[in-house]
Amino acid sequence: MIKSKSIKKRRRIALQGKKGNGSVKWNSAIHIVAHLFNLEHYHWSQSPEAEGLVAALSKLGDTPNETYLNPIRTFHTNTITELLTTIAGITGLLISLALILIMTSSTEFIRQVSYELFWYTHHVFIIFFIGLAIHGAGRIVRGQTPESLLLHNISFCRDHLEEWQARCPAPQFSGKEPSAWKWVLGPVVLYACERIIRFWRFQQEVIITKVVSHPSGVLELCMKKRDFKMAPGQYVLIQCPSISTLEWHPFTLTSAPQEDFFSVHIRAAGDWTEALCKAFGAEGQPLKEPWNLPRWEPISFLCIKVSTR
């Protein structure tokens, strides 16, 4: 019996996860559009039509002892070239492509039609986090230095461009210190610890005690593992090295907690599950090599779907 409070809590967690995904999607879109608009504005600021404070600030850096604010140094270029010649542009493009791949392959339709596509594309998160950590290394976002701000009466200098160098020293600018790595470091360390635990569990021996071939293409695997205690609704990740050394597929445990074994029921519904049935002799091909047995990996999260009807 699952308490209603526990069910509601899991529903809230699932809802929060969906809201988080939506937040990442829309904030990423706003971030990308804003930077593309800013890049176009930088390029226009170097054009002959630009005038006033915008033009004056964009021209800074053309003479010695000046620092620049506008990263685009000439109008005789295009924004795509400038985008692909900066660290921020290259990493931003890679991050965006990785995010699009992850989000599009996360749909329920893709997971049901091609779980392998969902599994493999999610590993581009490595590219995502590496790109995110070094995204600001080029320091393309610049601002006036604190020392320079002390020498300026900003409200006066911005309206008296003709008196720059006389009453208003040329402003000095520097790139902002990158800080994305600070936000990435914590989650990456936690993920690395979790992967180490997974690898340790992966190396522990699992004994397959019984294999049953049921009608309608359903394979039942009964297994034992020392000191393992299952919980209702728990699921395991199964790998069969003879089929694929990279794919892990989740299956809900179907045995009762009081039994001295744990089991899963697998229906042949795709390439991987059909190959697994063949590996266990469910289609007349007996299993001979012990290293072809699936290896499992327990995780602590529950995967429960409850109907209120």
Co-location of 174 and 245 in the same domain: no
Pair (86, 161) in one structural domain: yes
Residue 170 sits in the same domain as residue 223: no
Average pLDDT of the residues in 16-37: 85
In a domain, residue 215? The reply is yes
Q: Where does a domain end: 197, 220, 235?
A: 197
- The CATH number of the domain holding residue 298 is 2.40.30.10
Q: What is the pLDDT of residue 192?
A: 92
If one counts every other C-beta atom within 10 angstroms of the C-beta of residue 288, the result is 7
Residues 65 and 189 in one domain: yes
Q: How confident is the model at residue 2 (pLDDT cuts 50, 70, 90)?
A: very low
Q: At what angle do helices 180-203 and 125-134 cross, to 10 degrees?
A: 150
Q: Both 162 and 229 in a single domain? A: no
Choose the final residue of a domain: 197, 213, 238. 197
Tokens of 206: 């699992």
Does 181 share its domain with 111? yes
Q: Is 190 among the domain residues?
A: yes
Q: Is 221 domain-assigned? A: yes
Q: 131 burial class (0-12, 13-18, 19+ CB within 10 angstroms)?
A: buried
Residue 175 CA to residue 137 CA, distance in Å, equals: 9
- Residue 145 · residue 172 · CB < 8 Å: yes
Q: What is the pLDDT of residues 139-167, one digit of tens each?
A: 988 988 988 888 878 888 888 888 787 78
Helices 4-45 and 87-104 cross at an angle (nearest 10°) of 150
- Please tell me whether the overall predicted TM-score, pTM, comes out greater than 0.75 for this model: no
pLDDT of residue 11: 66
State the virtual CA torsion across 299, 241, 275, 215 in degrees, nearest 10: -50
Summarize pLDDT for 64-111 with one digit per residue, the tens: 888 899 899 888 888 888 888 899 999 999 999 999 999 888 888 888
> What is the domain range of residue 216?
205-302
- Closest Cα to residue 141, out of 180, 170, 182? 180
Edge-to-edge order in the sheet of strand 207-214: 207-214, 218-224, 262-267
Tell me: do 12 and 51 sit in the same domain. Answer: yes
300: tokens are 């602590």
In this prediction, residues 172-199 reach a mean pLDDT of 89
Q: Is the pLDDT of residue 298 over 50?
A: no
Rounded Cα distance between 182 and 178, Å, is: 9
Count of domains observed in the chain: 2
